[in-house]
Amino acid sequence: MPGVNSKAVRAGLPGRSLGAAGMLSLILVVYSYMQHRKTAAKAKKSMAALAAALSSASVRNLHTANTYTADRWMETDERERRFDADAPYFKCGPMGVAADGKRAKLDREFLRQLRAIRRIIIPSLASKEAAIIAMHAVFLVLRTWLSVVVAELDGKIVKHLVQGHGRRFLAGLLSWFAIAIPATYTNSMIRFLESKLALSFRTRLTQYVHDLYLNENLNYYKLQALDSRIAHPDQFITADIARFCNKVASFLSNLGKPTLDAIIFNIQLVRGVGLPGTVGMFGMYMATAKLLRAWTPPFGRMAAEQASLEGDFRAHHARVITNAEEIAFYRGEKRESEQVQGSLKRLLSHARRIAWRKVPHVVLEDMVIKYTWSAFGYLACALPFFIKTPGGALSRDGGSGFRTQRFITNKRILVNLSEAGGRMMYSIKEIMELTGYTSRVYSLLSTLHALRRDEYERAVAVASGEQGEFALSKAHGMVYEDIDGVRLTGVPIVAPAADGGELLVRPLTWEVRRGEHWMVAGPNGVGKTSVLRVLSGLWPAFAGVVERPEPSEIIYIPQRAYLPLGSLRDQIIYPHTHTQMQALGRTDDELMEVLSAVHLAYLPAREGGLSARKEWKDVLSGGEKQRINLARMFYHLPRFAVLDECTSAVSADVEGLMYEHAKRLGITLITISHRPSLYKYHTYLLRLGVHESDSQNTVSSILLEELSDAPSSSRNSGEHSLSTESWVDDVASSGVLWDVVQLSTAAGSATPSSASSPSLPAALDVPRVHPEPSSASTSRIDIARESLADANRTEIEQLRSALATKNAQELRLRLDCVQRELMTASSIEAVG
């Protein structure tokens, strides 16, 4: 027993001592056991509590959300690596060549394009597509072998018929029916595998294009707004890819099987009619094939042109569907009908030209394939009956049954060989059509890869051979997503255009820090929305530095609400899906709170719940659509929100309540609007306007004003903005926010453009804003800060002096005019 000294027992210790020791040992064992049970119970209870906590909804959702985010990041990273590997194979050629198919022909360039696309549709020998092709090849070989067997069987059946052997004839007929079972199954499997291969090709290619087209690089926007190589991308993605995949899949059957048949049937003919007849037939095939090739119209280019015209026709109808209400208001159906009919007329005219071009080609093709080849085949089959040919199995010796058998067999093989040759000739036309579709699909892929590298091309610029100062190829501004704010440093606002771009706002330096709510105002067409397009990345930054938060921390709300297909819930959480919403632990109760914040709490009851699915663009009113837009902001809760005239259809009282709610939630607002009533919800004003001394100059001038210190009454009426119209020179034409910080380019040029600071007039001077830059960007502005401080101060003094000597009467007249306009606008808004 533990604790008992065996030596002491042998020495004759008293029994009482032994009993006490045993009792002590027993007590220790029992005590240890009880402590163990208590510890185990505590541990079990703790583990149960931990398990309950881990099984709670919040932890599960957090785990699911983290797993979803990690998986999505890994998938994105894998796609980017693949795109990087494929990019060298998709290089753009001359402008418009691949897109319109004018160079679509069977040449080395076609093979290069086809090899590049092959990397997508057949990524490896271990892929599913490779396995389908292997199975398809097996069935093609089986079909050719069955054709040879059927030809031999036909000869035997006719032989037994001539010889009068009834039983052998019936046995041959039964064998012929038995062969029909695997033959029909083989034909069916060939067609099935061809369809399956086409669907598999289309799945891979369409998914690849979608990953390039609908991604965070905004290629779907750049393809329409910044590049002109691809017209009607929907036609390319939906129709041209499908036709290309069908042509490639059928190519294996239409050319692979005839080629295999030609090889095997020629071997059989050498055995049957001898080498001279087979060589003669082969030479005749080659000569007629060359003749057909020379007389074949350019079906590849014609197919590409027809696809382009079909895209135009489809786009006209899509435009009518999208803008049906506006067209109805204007009663523009006659004009739209003329445009649609004109597009249809061009399409049908081209289709008729193709049909007329096919008539002489089909006549020549049928004459050669069906008649010339058949006549020469009969001659080759009959030759061994009259002349002994080397290597031939026939001679003038032998019975009539044997002669009949060999003639029927060779004739059947010859017919199959003629059909194979005919399919090869027909496949030349299909290959020419394939070149057209290959060219269009390749042009789409190469353009998307170019846009991924921010390489743009415009038709007019390429045609003229000249590039302006703001050509898209010269856009070298830098973009960072590493600050808790918004900062533009020396960024010109340029509208991309065919002639190289139009400068809207001179190099702008502007910062929005958290908690500083900005109003962007100015006349129509001066570049207010354009500033936000550059900020969001829709337009490239031609120079300077753009710094913004991560995409999840900023949201852009446009004036026109986009309502996707889906439920009412999907409208609120867009671009999230219901699965993502649940993974993040969000509930429908939270969505109801969001709807209450935008005064749409009645909507679920009216429309049948959050899961109701309708065509929401036809169900909701203009104001409801805009409030749904703002509901997305309250759902996503970003740190910054850019609002572009997104409350123009909302009443002023509801608009104010939503702005106050957004500020309570800690969302920093950047608003573009013409409504003076919104000034009171913002801290600063960025006003864009046109220089008055030069009516031809459309480059915007900029004035920055602090609104927070203005009296409440003046802010409500908009009177604080009177002073912003009273500048005498190009005030702050470079758009600088601070009087001591300015960068004209990303490199920090020491020589800024004209008016390098927002020098406010002395009489209109407002408190300056001197925000301290974050540590991440200090190195980008320190050099410019020191070099430009003195120059800016001098320029401020010069401007103040100019204002002091300005005609006071003219200033008063201008102020009175602006005041009347603002009072009128406020009155109209109050009445509304």
DSSP string, 518-570: EEEE-STTSSHHHHHHHHHTSS---SSEEE---GGGEEEE-SS----SSBHHH
Q: Classify 706 as helix, strand or coil.
A: strand
And the tokens for 39? Answer: 């510890």
Are residues 452 and 498 located together in one domain of the fold? no
43 domain residue, yes or no: yes
Q: Is the pLDDT of residue 813 over 60?
A: no
539-595 pLDDT per residue, tens: 888 889 999 999 889 999 988 888 888 899 999 999 898 999 999 999 999 999 999
How far is residue 147's CA from residue 318's CA, in Å, rounded to a whole number?
A: 50
Inter-residue contact 541 to 509 (CB < 8 Å): no
- Residue 736 — very low, low, confident or very high, per pLDDT cuts 50/70/90? very low
Burial of 253 (0-12, 13-18, 19+ CB in 10 A): buried
Could you tell me the pTM of the whole model? 0.64
301-310 pLDDT per residue, tens: 787 788 888 8
| Range with lowest mean pLDDT among 165-174, 191-200, 221-230, 688-697 | 688-697
Are residues 349 and 417 located together in one domain of the fold? yes
638 domain residue, yes or no: yes
And the tokens for 631? Answer: 């509901």
| Range with lowest mean pLDDT among 213-217, 320-324, 687-691, 792-796 | 792-796
pLDDT at residue 777, as a whole number: 43
Three-point CA angle 214, 218, 223, nearest 5°: 90
| Range with lowest mean pLDDT among 230-239, 357-366, 532-541, 620-629 | 357-366
Are residues 34 and 137 located together in one domain of the fold? no
And the tokens for 752? Answer: 């800024």
- Residue 7 — very low, low, confident or very high, per pLDDT cuts 50/70/90? very low
Inter-residue contact 526 to 674 (CB < 8 Å): no
And the tokens for 491? Answer: 């960024």
And the tokens for 434? Answer: 């394939």
| Range with lowest mean pLDDT among 18-22, 173-177, 231-235, 279-283 | 18-22
Are residues 123 and 41 located together in one domain of the fold? no
How far is residue 592's CA from residue 403's CA, in Å, rounded to a whole number?
A: 90
Decide the pairing of beta strands 485-495 and 545-547.
antiparallel
90 domain residue, yes or no: no
Share of the chain above pLDDT 70, in %: 64
Q: Which residue has the higher pLDDT, 738 or 464?
A: 464
Q: Which residue has the higher pLDDT, 274 or 639?
A: 639
The mean per-residue pLDDT over the stretch 136-146 comes to 87
Are residues 270 and 157 located together in one domain of the fold? yes
Final residue of a structural domain among 55, 72, 93: 55
Helix ranges (H only) for 214-253 are: 219-225, 233-235, 241-251
Q: What is the C-alpha R_g of the chain?
A: 41
How far is residue 489's CA from residue 508's CA, in Å, rounded to a whole number?
A: 6
Q: Is the pLDDT of residue 145 over 50?
A: yes
Please write down the HEC assignment for all residues of 180-222.
Answer: HHHHHHHHHHHHHHHHHHHHHHHHHHHHHHHHHHCCCCCHHHH
Inter-residue contact 687 to 703 (CB < 8 Å): yes
The mean per-residue pLDDT over the stretch 726-745 comes to 30
10 domain residue, yes or no: yes
Residue corresponding to tokens 């965070």: 216
Q: What are phi and psi of 616, to 5 degrees?
A: -65, -25
CATH number of the domain that residue 155 is part of: 1.20.1560.10
341-386 pLDDT per residue, tens: 888 899 899 888 888 888 887 787 777 766 777 677 667 666 666 6
105 domain residue, yes or no: no
Q: Is the pLDDT of residue 762 over 90?
A: no
The count of other CB atoms within 10 Å of the CB of residue 139 is: 21
Are residues 659 and 747 located together in one domain of the fold? yes
Are residues 446 and 505 located together in one domain of the fold? no
pLDDT at residue 69, as a whole number: 53
70-91 pLDDT per residue, tens: 555 566 778 888 888 888 889 7
How far is residue 743's CA from residue 779's CA, in Å, rounded to a whole number?
A: 12
Q: Which of 116-130, 169-183, 366-380, 464-478 has the highest mean pLDDT?
A: 116-130
Q: How many domains does the chain have?
A: 3
Inter-residue contact 495 to 700 (CB < 8 Å): no
pLDDT at residue 751, as a whole number: 33
497 domain residue, yes or no: yes
The mean per-residue pLDDT over the stretch 710-727 comes to 33
Q: Please provide the DSSP assignment of 292-361 as one string.
A: HHHH---HHHHHHHHHHHHHHHHHHHHHHHHTHHHHHHHT-HHHHHHHHHHHHHHHHHHHHHHHHHHHHH
Q: Which residue has the higher pLDDT, 279 or 343?
A: 343
Residue corresponding to tokens 């198919």: 101
Are residues 507 and 452 located together in one domain of the fold? no
How far is residue 602's CA from residue 600's CA, in Å, rounded to a whole number?
A: 5
pLDDT at residue 503, as a whole number: 87
Are residues 159 and 223 located together in one domain of the fold? yes
- Residue 398 — very low, low, confident or very high, per pLDDT cuts 50/70/90? low
Are residues 329 and 276 located together in one domain of the fold? yes
pLDDT at residue 642, as a whole number: 94
Share of the chain above pLDDT 90, in %: 22
Are residues 501 and 378 located together in one domain of the fold? no
And the tokens for 625? Answer: 């659509």
Q: How far apart are the first and last CA of the chain?
A: 100
CATH number of the domain that residue 502 is part of: 3.40.50.300
467 domain residue, yes or no: no
Final residue of a structural domain among 419, 438, 457: 457
- Residue 657 — very low, low, confident or very high, per pLDDT cuts 50/70/90? very high
Residue corresponding to tokens 């991560």: 550
The count of other CB atoms within 10 Å of the CB of residue 111 is: 12
Q: Is the pLDDT of residue 340 over 90?
A: no
And the tokens for 345? Answer: 């007329």
pLDDT at residue 434, as a whole number: 87
644 bridge partner residues: 672
How far is residue 776's CA from residue 478's CA, in Å, rounded to a whole number?
A: 14
161-207 pLDDT per residue, tens: 777 777 888 888 888 888 888 888 988 898 899 999 999 999 999 99
Question: Is the bond leading into 575 cis (omega within 30 degrees of zero)?
Answer: yes
Would residue 710 be called left, alpha or beta, if left means φ above 0 and alpha means ψ between -120 and 50 degrees?
A: beta
From the centroid of its chain, how far is CA 384?
A: 65
And the tokens for 542? Answer: 């031609």
Are residues 397 and 535 located together in one domain of the fold? no
Q: Is the pLDDT of residue 600 over 90?
A: yes
588 domain residue, yes or no: no
Residue corresponding to tokens 């354009």: 530
Structural domain of residue 30, as residue ranges? 6-55
Cα–Cα nearest to 121, from 203, 237, 214? 203
Three-point CA angle 381, 382, 384, nearest 5°: 90
pLDDT at residue 201, as a whole number: 95
736 bridge partner residues: 509
Q: What is the mean pLDDT of the chain?
A: 72
The one-letter amino acid code at 51 reads A
